[in-house]
Amino acid sequence: MSDFYSAVYKAVKQIPKGKVTTYGRIAAYLGCPKMSRQVGWALHANPEFMEIPCHRVVNRFGRLANAFAFGGAEVQKELLQAEGVKVTDDTVDLSVYGFDYLNESIYFDTTESGRL
């Protein structure tokens, strides 16, 4: 597994239940703002679905992932709703449920390939 994928998985683990973030916000947080597509590839290859909550990642408009790796947008919607996230027309309101690493107080271990 690449260092970038490992960093993506660590970042996704920091998203609290009931919140979502975007591929682009993860990429920017990792210091690679033009690599949102690669964040998506990493999540599609998620080796630990139960440990890495990739269902909490949506696109820049708050839309669910059509190619959600573990069952499609309907499964992603169900998982988010179970955490209290309101999903309307396969879209999450980022102004309500959005998690932004740069504006949240979180713990992120940077000792082993945290930020790139």
Give the catalytic positions in this structure.
54
φ/ψ region of 31 (left if φ > 0, alpha if ψ in -120 to 50, else beta) reads left
Provide the 3-class DSSP secondary structure of residue 89. coil
CB 11 within 8 A of CB 27: no
